[in-house]
Amino acid sequence: MALSLKTRFRIRRWGGRLLLLYLAICAAAIVISLNGLYPAASHRLAYALRDPAMDLTQPFTSCAAAHAAGFYNIPSGSKAYVEGQDRDGDGLACEPYSGGGPGTFVGAGRASSGG
Ligand SMILES: [Ca+2]
């Protein structure tokens, strides 16, 4: 059975669209799976997408969001510093809840630890 040139073109065109749809579904499934497995990564990704330079030019909405993204001890000189997120007023916001948290501040070329 010989297909006409027009029919073969249609099949090829729809095949390409189906392939793109299949790839989009696979990408969505991967993102959803990773989001479930690594929620901290999704917070960091969301922040990275909002701020491509990852230099913390904007404050986090809460310390929980900062911690979920792996940021602690945000110094008062940073644009990400929010006075309301510095409970003890020592110039470091979003400190670990109990000494020696796992995260470090990486914005503005500074790193700090402790409270
Ligand atoms: Ca503090």
Q: What is the pLDDT of residues 37-48, one digit of tens each?
A: 776 666 666 666
End-to-end Cα separation, the chain, in angstroms: 78
**How far does residue 55's CA lie from ligand 1's centre (Å)?**
20
User: Domain segments of the chain: what residues?
Assistant: 1-37, 39-109
CA of 97 to the centre of ligand 1 (A): 10
Q: How far is the CA of 49 from the centre of ligand 1 (A)?
A: 27
Q: How confident is the model at residue 103, as a pLDDT?
A: 46
Q: How do residues 48-92 score in pLDDT, each as one tens digit?
A: 665 544 567 789 999 998 888 888 888 888 888 999 999 899 999
Q: HEC string of the chain?
A: CCCCHHHHHHHHHHHHHHHHHHHHHHHHHHHHHHHHHCHHHHHHHHHHHHCCCCCCCCCCCCHHHHHHCCCCCEECCCCCCCHHHCCCCCCEECCCCCCCCCCCCCHHHCCCCCC
Q: What is the mean pLDDT of residues 20-30?
A: 93
Distance 39 CA to ligand 1 centre (A): 25
Give 62 Cα–ligand 1 centroid separation in angstroms: 14
State which residues have CB under 5 angstroms from ligand 1, the bound ion. 86, 88, 90, 92, 95
